[in-house]
Amino acid sequence: MSERKATERKATERKALAGIKVFDMTQGVAGPHSTMLLAQHGANVIKVEPLDGDWGRALGKTYGDLCAHAVTFNRGKRSIALDLKTEEGRAVAKKLAADADIVVESFRPGVMGRFGLGYEDIKAVNRDVIYLSVTGFGQEGPYNGLPVTDSVIQAFSGLMSINRDGEGAPQRIGMIAIDVMTGLYAYQAISSALIARMRFGEGAYIDCSLMQSAAAFQSAKIMEHHMEDGAPQVLYVPVGTMKTADSYINITAMRDRHYVSLCQVLGREDLIDDPRFNTRDKRIEREMELMPMIRAEFLKKTTVEWCELLTAAEVMNSAISDYGDYLANEQVRAVNSVAWVEHTGLGELPMVNIPGLPAIEGADQLTECAHIGQHTAEILGEAGFAGDEISALLTANAAGQYAA
């Protein structure tokens, strides 16, 4: 290990959140993503879910009570299954929340209050608690109670308006981008609140909505929309995905020197000093005139050939990869971007290393996704429940225990 890598590992392997207790009442993606990050940084995360499990366990193809999303966003947590519609289940949840540093929930506004598990309820028994709610549209306003998905927020926030197909129809990004981004914003908000509590001795209530996260994610585009009267110009030309003789390549000619190099590689030196295109602003203004000529040239060679030529000329480019291509790429392997780890019952899985944390070196509790209620008895025992009390909760279906 190099001295630089050794220094980086020393600075990050002491888990910053070790000893911090998190009571996680979230489902889906956004909330679980935030608490997974807390777990990976050392927090003791207890995930409470219904007896039939977090609905995020059924996203896409399932493997028993697991799926790709569940493994990704819930690794490193312990699971307790509680029926919060029962008085006994709510009492257990409140007892666990009373002992937590952080409580995170993702129910619709008002639901936690009706369960007696809202911020004020928990603050009454846990004065310094940091309580974060993940919502769709926020706690107030005419839309606050509406159900929301990632794609709905992509549509609502304007994101689809700037992502269109060849015929101009608005399209969603092909992944749950806003859910994932909301999880990141929630994690940073909780981390900041923890530091504030250390400095000032006070807990906090935080609302982190998908709507606001989508806006923050697109803040520069929203600013452009206002400053440029609703029709922002492209940042530079030529840029985009080009069809080649055998597949596709993406290129970016950001500066004048990139444009000159691109034209030279394409064998279109005539375009370099063409008065229609010899400045950035002219290229942007005449994009519809320039780009067909650029695209026509890319049809003459394969993607591999173009990548070699463009890279040698220092024109930014990449072949269009799928995830298999990414996992096999030598650069990905060189920086240990992805660790291949054995997961109980699922075999070897690609787990992406989180920036800022030491690379995963093998299977452990932080790489495992618990089954529904896998740790129910263990968690209840730690909370002071006697064996007969645990049995009574299970018999009454106020709690559930995973049976292998």
**What span, in angstroms and rounded, lies between the C-alpha atoms of 34 and 56?**
14
d(CA 106, CA 135): 6
Catalytic residues: 179
User: pLDDT tens digits, residue range 342-390?
Assistant: 999 999 999 999 999 999 999 999 999 999 999 999 999 999 999 999 9
- 8 Å CB contact between 341 and 360: yes
SS3 per residue for the chain: CCHHHHHHHHHHHCCCCCCCEEEEECCCCHHHHHHHHHHHCCCEEEEEECCCCCHHHHCCCEECCEEHHHHHHHECCEEEEECCCCHHHHHHHHHHHHCCCEEEECCCCCHHHHCCCCHHHHHHHCCCCEEEEEECCCCCCCCCCCCCCHHHHHHHCCHHHHCECCCCCECCCCCCHHHHHHHHHHHHHHHHHHHHHHHHCCCEEEEEEHHHHHHHHCHHHHHHHHHCCCCCCCCCCCEEEEECCCCEEEEECCCHHHHHHHHHHHCCHHHCCCCCCCCHHHHHHCHHHHHHHHHHHHCCCCHHHHHHHHHHCCCEEEECCCHHHHHHCHHHHHCCCEEEEEECCCEEEEEECCCCCCCCCCCCHHHCECCCCCCHHHHHHHCCCCHHHHHHHHHCCCEECCCC
Mean pLDDT of 206-219: 98
Q: What is the pTM of this model?
A: 0.94
What tens digit of pLDDT does each residue of 155-206 get? 999 999 999 888 889 999 999 999 999 999 999 999 999 999 999 999 999 9
Tell me how long the chain is: 404
How many CB atoms sit inside 10 A of residue 338's CB?
19
Q: Hey, what long-range contacts does 298-305 have (CB within 8 A, 24 or more apart)?
A: 298/242, 298/243, 298/244, 298/249, 298/266, 299/243, 299/244, 299/245, 300/245, 301/244, 301/245, 302/244, 302/245, 302/246, 302/247, 303/244, 303/245, 303/246, 303/247, 303/248, 303/249
Domains and CATH numbers, the chain: 3-220+338-400 (3.40.50.10540), 239-327 (3.30.1540.10)
pLDDT at position 4, please? Answer: 56
Q: What is the pLDDT of residue 404?
A: 75
Q: Are 374 and 402 in contact (CB under 8 A)?
A: yes
Q: How far is CA 132 from the centre of its chain?
A: 17
Q: Distance between CA 227 and CA 183 in Å, rounded? A: 29
Cα-to-chain-centroid distance, residue 149: 14
Please state, rounded to an integer, the average pLDDT across all residues of the chain. 96
Interacting residues of 276 by C-beta distance below 8 A, sequence separation 6+: 282, 286, 289, 290
What is the distance between the alpha carbons of residues 178 and 154, in angstroms, rounded to a whole number? 7
- Report pLDDT for 12: 52
Residues paired with residue 399 on neighbouring β-strands, in sequence order: 82
Q: How far apart are CA 212 and CA 404, in angstroms?
A: 41
- pLDDT tens per residue, range 394-404: 999 999 999 87
Q: CA 98, CA 121: separation in Å to the nearest integer?
A: 10
* Res 230: pLDDT: 87
pLDDT for residue 1: 54
pLDDT digits (tens, 9 = 90+) for 9-52: 555 567 999 999 999 999 999 999 999 999 999 999 999 999 99
Exposed/middle/buried for 55, CB within 10 Å: 0-12, 13-18, 19+? Answer: exposed
- The arithmetic mean of pLDDT across residues 145-161, rounded, is 96
First to last CA, the chain: 40
